[in-house]
Amino acid sequence: MEDVRRLCSSDRSLQASIQTMTAQGRTAGYALAAAGAALFSTKAIFIKLAYMDDVNATLMLAYRMMFALPFFVAVGIWAYLGKRARNEALPSRQTMLLALATGFIGYYLSALLDFKGLEYISAQLERLVLFTYPLFVMFLGRMFFGMSLTRAGLLAAAITYVGLAIVFGIDLPEGGINTVIGTAFVLGCAVTFAFYQLFAKGFITALGSVLFTSLSLSRPP
C-alpha cells in the first residue's frame, strides 16, 4: 500500500513538473514572439531612411540578401552537421527544395512587395497594413488547410480593418494614388507572408527552426 502511495505521489509530482515546464515554455514563446514583432516593426523605419539616399526596393533587397546570405549558409551547415552528429534523420532532398521554395515566398517575394510599398506610403501605414497578415493566416488557413475560425478571431479582424480603413482614409487625400498603390503592394506582402507562415509550420517540425530558417534565407533571388 505504501508503494502505491509513493507511485501516486511521484506521478503527481511528474505531472506538476510537466505543467510547470509547459507554462514556462509558453511564456518564453510569447516573449520571443513579442520581441520578434517589435524588431520586425522597426524594419520599415530603416528602409524609409535608406530611401532618402535615392535607392530603390530592388537594390535594398539585394543588399539585405547579400549581407545575410553568408551568415545563414554557415548556420545552415552547422545545423545540418549537428543533426548528422546526433544521428538524427536527415531531411530528404525534396523536403529541402520545398523549404527553399517556401522561403522564396516569405523572404523574397513578400519582402520585395513590402519594399516596393514603402516607396509609396509612410512607415506607419505600411506597418498597420502588414500586420494584417495574422488575419490572412486565419482566413487562408480556413480556406486551404481546414483551420477553424473563432468568434474572437473574427472580432479582431473586424476591429483591425476598421482601424485600417480610418488610417487609409486619413492618408488618401495627401498621398492620392500613391497611397492606393503602396497599400496594394503591402497587402500583397501580407498575403504572401501569411502563406509562408502556413507552409512553414510543417517544415519547422520536420527540419527544426534553425535549419529551416537557414534554408529559407539561403535561396538566391
How would you write the pLDDT of the chain (221 residues) with one tens digit per residue? 544 344 344 445 434 444 555 767 778 777 877 787 777 777 788 888 888 887 888 888 888 788 888 888 888 888 888 888 888 888 888 888 888 888 889 888 998 999 999 999 888 888 888 888 888 888 898 888 888 888 888 888 888 788 888 877 887 778 788 888 999 999 999 999 999 989 888 888 888 888 888 888 765 55
* Residue indicated by cell numbers 535607392: 55
Write out the three cell numbers for 134. Answer: 495574422
Distance of CA 31 to the CA centre of its chain: 15
Q: CA-CA distance, 177 to 184, in Å (whole number)?
A: 11
Smallest CA-to-CA distance from 161 within 136, 179, 178, 195 is with 136
Q: Taking the complete model, does pTM exceed 0.85, yes or no?
A: no
Q: CA-CA distance, 141 to 72, in Å (whole number)?
A: 29
Smallest CA-to-CA distance from 214 within 60, 78, 82 is with 78
pLDDT at res. 219: 58
Q: What secondary structure letter does DSSP report for 54?
A: S
